[in-house]
């Protein structure tokens, strides 16, 4: 296993990427903890294994390399489990069809570190679901004193796209209005106009600090 933690690859990024490719071809697992803005986000996949949602961990700065990130990395390295052809864990959920709305608390009381941890938990949950066009649909709503629809139920029909979208959610800050979030999920996200289905179970998963 190779674990690279740094703010960039230096001046020889092309050479670095080539060596990562060689390592991967030899069956070596490569993780990349990309610190700061010295990385081109859409090129992280060149410096680690696939999928990038598992093997690339973007971090804003070095002080954030504490429990949430280090624990996530340790968990991933220690738990190399059977993966599908697209590099994702074999879905273990027995739920064949459902519309699931995940409400993620982005209020100030959560703190940025705990928000990162919560996102990892949401990603793990999503990785276990049988997401597909005629199977499980997932929506993500972040909330604080307001609600923000990160993506609706009909936006993505595969797990990798859902995991990438969860990664893109940025911390909102603000008050904690849990009731507002539940009302928004019930009245808006679960509406037929937003793609909610009538013939499947509707599930809300709430992650909050209060």
pLDDT tens column, 99-157: 999 999 999 988 888 888 888 889 888 988 999 999 999 999 999 999 999 999 999 99
Q: Is residue 5 assigned to a domain?
A: no
What is the domain count for the chain? Answer: 1
CA-only gyration radius of the chain, Å: 18
Q: Is residue 174 assigned to a domain?
A: yes
Burial 102-130 (b: 16+ CB within 10 A, else e): bbbbbbeebeeebbbbbbbebbebbbbbe
For residue 199, what are the domain limits? 11-208
pLDDT at 127: 86
pLDDT at 105: 93
pLDDT at 140: 98
pLDDT at 15: 77
pLDDT at 165: 93
Q: Is residue 2 assigned to a domain?
A: no
pLDDT at 48: 80
Q: Is residue 18 assigned to a domain?
A: yes
Of the given ranges (3-12, 43-52, 151-160), which has the lowest mean pLDDT?
3-12
Query: For residue 53, which phi and psi values (nearest 5 degrees)?
Result: -65, -20
User: How many separate helices (H) and strands (E) can be counted in the chain?
Assistant: 6, 7
Q: Quick check: helix, strand or coil at residue 138?
A: strand
The enclosing domain of 107 has a CATH number of 3.40.50.410
Q: Is residue 134 assigned to a domain?
A: yes
| Cβ-Cβ contacts under 8 Å for 175 (sequence gap 6 or more) | 107, 108, 144, 145
Residue of 209 and 144 predicted with greater confidence? 144
pLDDT per position as a tens digit, 165-203: 998 999 999 998 899 999 999 999 999 999 999 999 999
pLDDT per position as a tens digit, 69-109: 666 776 666 555 445 556 666 677 778 899 999 999 999 98
Q: Is residue 16 assigned to a domain?
A: yes
Q: Is residue 3 assigned to a domain?
A: no
The model's pTM: 0.62
pLDDT at 101: 95
pLDDT at 28: 77
Rounded to 5°, angle at Cα 33 from 29 and 34: 130
Q: Is residue 43 assigned to a domain?
A: yes
């Amino acid at each position: 296993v190779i674990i690279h933690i740094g703010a960039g690859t230096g001046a020889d990024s092309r050479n670095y990427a080539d060596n990562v490719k060689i390592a991967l071809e030899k069956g070596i697992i490569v993780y990349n903890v990309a610190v700061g803005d010295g990385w081109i986000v859409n090129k992280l996949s060149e410096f680690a294994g696939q999928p990038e949602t598992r093997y690339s961990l973007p971090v804003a700065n070095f002080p954030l390399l504490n429990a949430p990130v280090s624990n996530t990395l340790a968990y991933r390295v220690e738990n190399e489990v059977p993966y599908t052809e697209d590099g994702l864990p074999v879905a273990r959920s027995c739920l064949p069809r459902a519309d699931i709305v995940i409400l993620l608390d982005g209020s100030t009381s959560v703190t940025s570190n705990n928000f990162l941890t919560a996102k990892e938990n949401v990603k793990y949950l999503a990785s276990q679901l049988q997401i597909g066009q005629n199977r499980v649909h997932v929506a993500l709503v972040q909330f604080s004193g307001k609600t923000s629809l990160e993506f609706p139920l009909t936006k993505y029909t595969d797990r990798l796209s859902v995991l990438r979208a969860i990664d893109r959610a940025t911390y909102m800050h603000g008050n904690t209005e849990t009731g507002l979030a539940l009302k928004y999920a019930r009245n808006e996200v679960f509406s037929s106009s937003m793609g909610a289905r009538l013939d499947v179970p509707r599930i809300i998963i709430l992650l909050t600090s209060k």
